[in-house]
Amino acid sequence: MPTRVDLAVKNARLLTMNPKQPTAEALAVSYGRIIAVGDSKELAGWARLARQVVDLHGRTVVPGFIDTHAHLADIGVRLVHLDLGAAKSVEDALAMVQGQVAKTLPGELIIGYNWDESGWTTPRYLTKRDLDQVAPRNPVVLIRVCGHLAAVNTLALQRLAVDSAHPGVDKDAQTGELTGVLRDIPVDPRSLESVEGQASQALVAACRHANSLGVTSVHENLYQRQLPFVREYLQLRHAGQLSVRVYCNLEAKLLDQLAGLGLSSGLGDESFRLGGLKAFADGSFGAQTAALSRPYHDKPDTDGLLMSSDEDYRFLLETANRLGQQVNTHAIGDRGIDFVLRCHQKVGGKEQAERLRHTIIHAEFLTAALLEKVKQLGLMLLMQPNFVHRWGLPDGMYEQRLGAKRAQRLNNFRYVLDAGVRLAFGSDCMPMDPLYGIFAAVTHPNPATRITVEEALRCYTVEAAYASFEEAEKGSLAVGKLADFVVLSHDPLAMDPAALGKVVVEQTYVGGTCVYSRL
């Protein structure tokens, strides 16, 4: 026996996600790692030695959830800025902005996040005219929930130096005047905001939020303007205050700097590790910029946009393959996915994709032909089941954008797993909650593409760990692995899927330390 046993958990129902030992009743932890898994009687000796013993009285324990597509820094910033997620109408959103104006000095920037017009009483975008009326003396930037569209007022347009020549800038059909709606424009409206001085506060708040949802690890995605957050992550790690393990993906435009420093995927430790490159093939359905093979149902004059040329994207893949750098590419529409697959086929093919575990993020409009190419090329998919119930219900945003027939084909998790393609789940923080994602995956509006609860759990644990080359470290509860686990109020495998909404996170442990508890 080891000289030190920090924690013993007994009288639990452990869903280990380890095929060699699928269930257990107890575990023991030493120096942040699991040293024993078994039944409570077998581990009684460990419990007598433990500094802390937790009796869970039959509660269910699962491995810590891993979110493979997160924006933890953005969550933190939203927590300290204006959150428009509760708005039910244009009027609600504008009243929230007006309330923020009353607390802000003239000339100071107002940033808002998380608005989603698809569920409003009148589903339209916010405009410059709306925002000028409630905030005539403050620049206002309101980022839509998808992150691919912003509504800004006149003062913000002036600060950004945006004019009608910029692609992605909406103009009034009659007058040609800018409407204040910006879709995936080259100038990021969030660049007006400095992250200096707020990064540490934002990250601590975001980690607490993630822990409350059972999230113990994230694949973070940082843009070039967010590089100060890397320093803050490392400082929190050094201070022992980083309660979420971070696999940090950086914007693909930073490839030259990473190469110049000799940095590649995997550098770091179990708390903070350099991940892959984040690239974009297209935009989003919400902003009508996801690239489609046929035009949008509600905007027939557009079929979305590709955000890179073949030449540039192939160069990125070639360079990343040479340097041993993982590439994670955002692609939503069928044309966007086809673009990614076509380029991968020309650069490296299956051997390189499997070695570096290249991924496609979202892959929402994945046809049978495209799925077969994904399998042939050995790419992994990082999909977001939480999108299903947010936008995929009848008359929801998917139907508005694509029509009912095409909307039925989105987020086909069952087909992906049946094809033998590796699949992991993430949230894009819309919302982050993995239990909500599991519920959505097993109660998909299209019954033909539903998966089982156990399969959904694997996508948030075992498969998610594989996506970051960390399957030997986490993703299941086994001897030698990190002691990251979540205590649930109910056993999700023993419930009717329709009742999964009752399950709540009661405790979250990272490295054997309780970082969240509602008990």
Q: How confident is the model at residue 1 (pLDDT cuts 50, 70, 90)?
A: low
d(CA 22, CA 518): 27
Question: What pLDDT sits at residue 204?
Answer: 92
Distance CA 175, CA 191 (A): 29
* CA distance linking residue 100 with residue 169, whole number of Å: 26
Give the pLDDT band (50/70/90) at residue 191: low
Between CA 464 and CA 287 the distance in angstroms is: 28
| Separation CA 142–CA 158 (nearest Å) | 15
Under DSSP, the state recorded for 289 is -
Flag whether pLDDT at 187 surpasses 90.
no
Measured distance CA(401)–CA(61) in Å, rounded: 40
Of 425, 428, 429, whose CA–CA distance to 438 is shortest?
A: 425
Q: Tens of pLDDT along 300-334?
A: 999 999 999 999 999 999 999 999 999 999 999 99
Q: Between 184 and 478, whose confidence is greater? A: 478
According to the model, what pLDDT value does residue 161 have? 86
Tens of pLDDT along 141-165? 999 988 889 999 999 999 888 888 8
Tally of residues, the chain: 519
Residue-wise pLDDT tens digits, 35-70: 999 999 999 999 999 999 999 999 999 999 999 999
| CA quadruple 277, 279, 284, 288: dihedral, nearest 10 | 160
User: DSSP of 305-340, one letter per residue?
Assistant: --SS-HHHHHHHHHHHHHHT--EEEEE-SHHHHHHH
Asked if residue 32 has pLDDT above 90, the reply is yes
* Exposure string for 206-239, b = 16+ CB within 10 A, e = fewer: bbebbbbbbbbbbbbbbbeebebbbebbeebbee
| DSSP 3-state of 209 | helix
Q: How far is CA 308 from CA 149, 150, 164, in A?
A: 18, 20, 21
For the chain, percent of residues with pLDDT exceeding 70? 97
Residue type, 406: R
pLDDT at 198: 67
pLDDT in tens, 451-489: 999 999 999 999 999 999 999 999 999 999 999 999 999
Burial of 395 (C-beta count, 10 Å sphere; 0-12/13-18/19+): exposed
pLDDT of residue 263: 81
Closest CA to 87 of 57, 120, 53: 120
Query: What DSSP string runs through 457-468?
Result: HHHHTHHHHHHT
Strand order in 82-83's β-sheet?
Answer: 82-83, 110-115, 140-144, 149-152, 178-183, 169-171
Name the residue type at position 138: N
pLDDT exceeding 90 applies to what percent of the chain? 80
Q: How far is residue 249's CA from residue 233's CA, in Å, rounded to a whole number?
A: 13
Q: Which of 362, 403, 369, 366 is CA-nearest to residue 386?
A: 362
198 burial level (CB within 10 Å; 0-12, 13-18, 19+) = middle
With CA atoms as reference, report the closest residue to 199 among 242, 141, 138, 146: 242
Chain mean pLDDT for the chain: 93
**pLDDT tens digits, residue range 112-123?**
988 999 989 899
Q: Is the preceding peptide bond at 431 cis, omega within 30 degrees of 0?
A: yes
* Whether pLDDT at 508 is above 70: yes
Of 169, 267, 317, 241, the residue nearest 511 (C-alpha): 241
pTM over 0.75: yes
Domains and CATH numbers, the chain: 7-63+480-517 (2.30.40.10), 81-192 (3.10.310.70), 199-467 (3.20.20.140)
pLDDT of residue 197: 55
Kindly give, in sequence order, each residue whose CB lies less than 8 Å from that of residue 44, ignoring residues fewer than 6 positions away. none
